[in-house]
Amino acid sequence: MAIIRQKMKYYLLLISTIFIISCSSKNKKENNILTIGKENDVEVTLSIEDKRDIKKIGFYSGENSEFIDEKHIESYNRIIYNFESKGEGTFKVCIYKINDTICTESYVEKGYTPKIEFVKDSLIITDFIGLNYE
């Protein structure tokens, strides 16, 4: 009986350890996302492949603007910008590099979730309203 209890404790400890390790690795991936903005009518996700020479990133919508400095750019691979949209509107994302500024501007409405990738000095919209282009 004592041997069975000991084995059960061992298996419980093993399962608990595996669970904790899997949760902590998942949190590291989730923590690699920076979320900015105050509202959530529109959610713009920017993924950055190559961060070299980027000094700051600007997000603009209506009268709102948010900036990410170089320190935060190094820490995150994805930035989510949330903002309010009362109807039709536009948003703009600019990557400010040492010798260049790369911007894209796009139309949005409430509920849109555009996804943008910064690859090889280009901003590419990969998903406009949540339908996953490809």
Domains of the chain, by residue range, sit at 1-31, 33-127
pLDDT of residue 29: 44
pLDDT of residue 9: 72
pLDDT of residue 2: 73
Indicate whether this model's pTM tops 0.85. Answer: no
CATH architecture of 33-127: Sandwich (2.60)
User: How many residues would you count in the chain?
Assistant: 134
How far apart are the C-alpha atoms of 4 and 46, rounded to whole Å? 53
pLDDT digits (tens, 9 = 90+) for 33-47: 999 998 889 999 999
Describe the chain by its helix, strand, coil percentages, rounded to 5: 25, 45, 30
**Residue ranges of the chain whose pLDDT lies below 50:** 24-29, 133-134
Q: Which residues contact 129 (CB under 8 A, 6 or more apart)?
A: 111, 112, 113, 114
Q: Which residues contact 20 (CB under 8 A, 6 or more apart)?
A: none
pLDDT of residue 49: 87
Choose among 38, 73, 37, 33: nearest CA to 53.
73
